[in-house]
Amino acid sequence: MLQEERLLLIRNLLATFSRVSVDRIVHELDVSRETVRRDLVQLEDLGELRRVHGGAVAVGAAPEPPLAVRLAARQKEKRAIAKAAMALMQPGQTVFLDSGSTNAIFAEELATLCGMIVITNSLTIALKLSHAGEGRDTRNQTLLLGGEIDAKTQATFGPQAIAEIHRFRADLALLSPVGLHPKHGAMSFEHHEAAIARAMVEQAEHVVILADHSKIGQSSRVSYAAPDKIDTLVTDAKASALPALAALRKSCQRVIVA
């Protein structure tokens, strides 16, 4: 992997989690600890991070990477999670989907069912489901929440979107967090994104978290669902060895490893 690619991936990890360990970077990039050390030194010299014992922290408050970057990351794992989550779905359900990148992939699987009512704040998901229904009588209905538009996440947010969520009761809320921590639960970096997810949690009978291994054990700025409020966690096989997953099994009612 070229150094420019490694530096970009390290920046993305810090943008998502604010703090990242050397071990996680080694795992994600599949390079040596010495290579990671050199890359962190260079990024520190550029003023982009501060090295600490065992890893690095972002300088200032770093936002999430753009949606296009997140969609391209860990696609294999996200696709496995999406397929596994389909075991929870039945035709005719009403579901909430937030604007997480894993949900954008899950929407492609969901489009194969019939009679679904999908309520989402994601323009990307709404368009995927709309295009999937062209030429087929699936009797699916997609409702896009109104509100302000966040161009970075291609999603709506704000008081209007939250008010519309509270008009509905859903069978399931499927949410894709920035981090999933055994103590703090499902978390987001942005307050307005967390507010959308929190409202969906409140209005759903069953809360499902879709989180690949890179999210397990990580924390971010804002919590929107405590661990005991999560009915089902769906993650990928690389999470199996993580201590945080063992801790999450004690609080979540069900854990599915794809």
Contact partners, residue 201, CB within 8 Å, separation at least 6? 173, 175, 207, 224, 225, 229
Q: What percent of the chain has pLDDT over 90?
A: 68
Average pLDDT over residues 128-134: 80
Residue ranges of the domains in the chain? Answer: 3-58, 70-257
Q: CA–CA separation, 35 vs 5, rounded Å?
A: 13
Q: CA–CA separation, 193 vs 45, rounded Å?
A: 33
The class (CATH top level) of 3-58 is: mainly alpha
Both tokens of 146, joined, read 């109104």
Average pLDDT over residues 194-203: 97
User: How many CB atoms lie under 10 A from the CB of residue 196?
Assistant: 29
Both tokens of 257, joined, read 């490893």
Query: Which pLDDT belongs to residue 205?
Result: 98
Q: Is the pLDDT of residue 50 over 90?
A: no
Higher-scoring residue by pLDDT: 204, 112: 204
Q: CA–CA separation, 8 vs 13, rounded Å?
A: 9
Q: What is the pTM of this model?
A: 0.76
**Residue 51 phi, psi (nearest 5):** -75, 135
Query: Which pLDDT belongs to residue 71?
Result: 65
Q: Which CATH architecture has domain 70-257?
A: 3-Layer(aba) Sandwich (3.40)
State the pLDDT confidence band at 73, using cuts at 50, 70 and 90. confident
Query: Which pLDDT belongs to residue 135?
Result: 65
Query: Which pLDDT belongs to residue 13?
Result: 85
